[in-house]
Amino acid sequence: MTDFLLVAWVSILIELTRLQWMLGGGESWQPGEKLKLLFAGYNGTRNTGSDVRVNEMLRQIRHILGAENVDFSVMTQNFDRTKGYFAGTRQVFLPDVFPPFLYRETRSNHGVVACEGSMFKSKFANALTTMMIGSLGFASSENKLSIGYGAEAGHMDSLIERMCARYVHHSLVITRNVESQAVLGKLGISTELGTDTAWTFEPQPDAYGRKTLRDAGWDEKTPVLVLCPIHPFVWPVKASLAKYVARITTGAYKESQYRTVYFHESGAEADRKYKHYIDGFVSSTRAFRQKHRVFTVLVATERLDAVACRAIAEQIPGVPIFTSDDYDMYQLVAILRQARYMVSSRYHGIVTSMPSLVASAGVTMDERIRNLMRERGHHNLCITVDDPDLGPKMLQMMETLVAETESIREGIAQAVVRNLKVMARMGVVFEDLMRLQYPEFPLPGGVRSWQEYLPPLSENLVRLAQKYDVSEAALAASK
């Protein structure tokens, strides 16, 4: 019922916005003024992946449009947790009860770029998907720029699916994979094929990552094994007024409360699955360490992951934990990139380590890591979080990382360069959409190389691009 009320609230405000625009309301871009774009996403919770991809999105689009021509805003749920992020961008507070905020903020901008990776799916939270749909719907209802950038689509509950079909119909969505295109295509939504935007991210220098690990006991010689666990069975988060009332009156649901009216899944079955998941990490890591000398670290790339990290560390004493609560995105990714091997349930744990050619495998709760491994040609390096033989299969993947390190690294390098070129193509699509939406906007003309549609690249990425550059035909075939 709460999902229904939230969807209804946002839908009514979109229709009101459309009516007001038809009567001459709203703010339209005029030649000579800066283009104001709102980047709508899930930032401010120290989710490293969300923060990294939005940071690079801002850098890329600012580079394409020209910093002197734009005025960007990005949502945050906590200013302290995004302090020092998103250079040159105004941060605006996103409240838990967001419909009035979206109504006001989208009307004061000339367009919306929806940033969330898991943009159209019910796996995590219908409220989050409702916010993404609403952001795009508000913009398109006033005939403004309305684009989803690097999105994924999966299963949506029927209520959310109907809302998506209605209010994203006049937007363009650049997806991260063909599977998402298929989902949105069935709803009549226009799509282009793209990728994630984290590929161009540059963390702190390697020296920072090495020193941090050295301070934790690393000898700088032993191969580093990074584990990125999560708690896969507390999703989706759902709004519940009944639980909220019980929480403030009786103290019930304290452990499962996400914040305010939003609550994680909980119960005996979730606990049983979680124990099996943790046991799988523990048993496979113990067996692997008996055979191979590695320096093992646990990394929580999202604040919530610290719980899983601590649960594993309790059974493997002496393993250091690095969390996004204690390290910002520049620091944490620098730590990840010191690894030789990685087993991760976090998509961006894998993506942000790939430019350093970390041999990685995934334990996935949804389609994101599976799609990435398919693209890399590493189908055998991905299992699901609830696999009955989780421990043995994880150990087998770890052994594969050791036995086939060089070929895996080669596949990763090629995948990084392919994705850089796809990300550049996303920039071309964005530029073309700008020409249609705002034909008088001062865009540069002439033929440019694909690298010019990316933000400035690190020396490492430039070297990879030179060594592993792929033809357009090969790029199309890989997708």
- pLDDT at residue number 429: 97
- pLDDT at residue number 476: 46
Percent of the chain with pLDDT over 70: 97
82 close to 44: Cβ distance less than 8 angstroms: yes
At residue 479, does pLDDT exceed 50?
A: no
d(CA 220, CA 461): 24
- pLDDT at residue number 325: 95
- Global pTM? 0.91
378 close to 395: Cβ distance less than 8 angstroms: no
* Tens-digit pLDDT profile for residues 56-100: 999 999 999 999 999 999 999 999 999 999 999 999 999 989 999
307 close to 192: Cβ distance less than 8 angstroms: no
- pLDDT at residue number 478: 46
- pLDDT at residue number 457: 96
At residue 277, does pLDDT exceed 60?
A: yes
Q: 365 CB contacts (<8 Å, ≥6 apart)?
A: 123, 230, 232, 235, 345, 384, 385
Name the packing angle between helices 99-107 and 2-22 (round to 10°). Answer: 20
> Which amino acid is residue 211, in one-letter code?
K
- Average pLDDT over the chain reads 93
Residue 470 pLDDT level (bands cut at 50, 70, 90): low
**Mean of pLDDT values over 31-51:** 95
Query: How far is Cα of residue 182 from the mean position of the Cα atoms in its chain?
Result: 20
At residue 313, does pLDDT exceed 70?
A: yes
Residue 471 pLDDT level (bands cut at 50, 70, 90): low
Residue 264 pLDDT level (bands cut at 50, 70, 90): low
Percent of the chain with pLDDT over 90: 81
At residue 477, does pLDDT exceed 50?
A: no
* Tens-digit pLDDT profile for residues 222-238: 999 999 999 998 767 77
At residue 212, does pLDDT exceed 70?
A: yes
114 close to 32: Cβ distance less than 8 angstroms: no
CA distances from 83 to 78, 200, 352 (A): 9, 21, 21
At residue 103, does pLDDT exceed 90?
A: yes
* Tens-digit pLDDT profile for residues 441-458: 999 877 789 999 999 999
- pLDDT at residue number 475: 43
In whole angstroms, how large is the CA radius of gyration of the chain?
22
Give the CB-side neighbour count of residue 430, counting CA atoms within 13 A.
28
Residue 371 pLDDT level (bands cut at 50, 70, 90): confident
The sheet that has 262-263: what strands, in order across it? 238-239, 262-263, 257-259
* Tens-digit pLDDT profile for residues 399-439: 999 999 999 999 999 999 999 999 999 999 999 999 999 99
Range name among 54-68, 111-125, 227-241, 384-398 with the lowest pLDDT average:
227-241
d(CA 118, CA 235): 13
- pLDDT at residue number 366: 84
How would you classify residue 267: left for phi > 0, otherwise alpha for psi between -120 and 50, otherwise beta? Answer: left
Instruction: Map out the domains of the chain with their CATH numbers.
Output: 2-200 (3.40.50), 206-234+265-403 (3.40.50.2000)
**Mean of pLDDT values over 12-38:** 92
